[in-house]
Amino acid sequence: MKAVVVEDEKSIIDAIALAFEFRWPGAAVIGAPTGKEGIRLVQEESPDIVILDINLPDMTGFNVLKEIRKTSAVPVIILTVRSDDEDMLRGLEAGADDYVVKPFNYLTLLARIKAVLRRTEKTPLKMKKDALISPRLKIDFVNQKVKVDGRPVTLTPLEYRLLVLLVKNKDRAVSHKRIMEEIWGKSYWGDTENIRICVRRLRKKLKDSPPRMILSKRGTGYLFKS
């Protein structure tokens, strides 16, 4: 297990490292006090997960996340402050997999990390290696790679799992509740904003505008149209 923690407060990095040691003895936790250093470490170290503070001395965490997403689909959990709820929405828009609000309990952070890693490792759909899902969409389920119109598309683990869940139930509406439970976990149910943001990101990457593949079912959920 290897984690990169992009945070300018050393006390927080040390506390996160202690929490990792409690759950994953021998885990490597690498601290980065600046956004630029965090970007470099993600590229060089290929971590299993990134913990990213939004407020950094040289650049915003949102910009760091955007740079990370240009080259990596590594799971990212952002650290936000309680006084600014928009951090959560902006982080999810930029490609974060989850968020934790400061000040936070480190057991809560561990639980979120475990949930994100579990979602990343889990393959929710078993089919033949290459499947032509629709005239435009092809998925390699073994290597978890997606192509649209013959071109590769880079999805975050969260986006990939959402796409596969919808594909698995193609031509049938998947409820908001089921999406939250299967993608984020039962403890997250109650806020569908996460779903809306993730669907919007997914549609953008699939060049599904106006939507013809992922359709909204008002008051119900979403449907993948084959």
Q: Are residues 25 and 109 in the same domain?
A: yes
C-alpha distances in Å from residue 74, one per residue of 5, 52, 93, 223? 13, 12, 16, 27
Q: Span 10-20, mean pLDDT?
A: 91
The secondary structure element, H or E, covering residue 50 is strand 49-53
What lies within 8 Å, CB to CB, of 93 at 6+ separation is 197, 200, 201
Chosen domain end from 73, 89, 121: 121
3-state DSSP assignment of residue 216: strand
Q: Are residues 24 and 74 in the same domain?
A: yes
Chosen domain end from 121, 139, 171: 121
The total number of residues written for the chain in this structure: 226
Q: Are residues 84 and 117 in the same domain?
A: yes
Chosen domain end from 100, 121, 142: 121
Q: Span 57-85, mean pLDDT?
A: 86
Q: Span 52-63, mean pLDDT?
A: 94
Q: Are residues 216 and 115 in the same domain?
A: no
* Residue-wise burial string across 33-44, b where 16 or more C-beta atoms lie within 10 A, e elsewhere: bbbebbbebbee
Range(s) of the domain holding residue 168: 130-224
Q: What percent of the chain has pLDDT over 90?
A: 43
Number of domains in the chain: 2
> Any idea what the CATH number is for the domain that residue 216 is in?
1.10.10.10
Q: Are residues 155 and 200 in the same domain?
A: yes
Q: Span 173-202, mean pLDDT?
A: 79
**pLDDT tens by residue, 109-139:** 888 888 888 766 644 444 445 577 888 999 8
Q: Are residues 24 and 91 in the same domain?
A: yes
Residue 63: pLDDT over 90 = yes
Lowest mean pLDDT among 14-18, 103-107, 190-194, 221-225: 190-194
Q: Are residues 179 and 98 in the same domain?
A: no
DSSP states of 118-183 as a string? HHHH-------SEEE-SSSEEEETTTTEEEETTEEE---HHHHHHHHHHHHTTTS-EEHHHHIIII
Q: Are residues 106 and 8 in the same domain?
A: yes
> Any idea what the CATH number is for the domain that residue 83 is in?
3.40.50.2300
Q: Are residues 115 and 160 in the same domain?
A: no
Q: Is 187 exposed, middle or buried (0-12, 13-18, 19+ CB in 10 A)?
A: exposed
Q: Span 60-74, mean pLDDT?
A: 90
Whether residue 47 has a cis bond before it, omega within 30° of 0: no
Return d(Cα 179, Cα 216) in angstroms, integer.
13
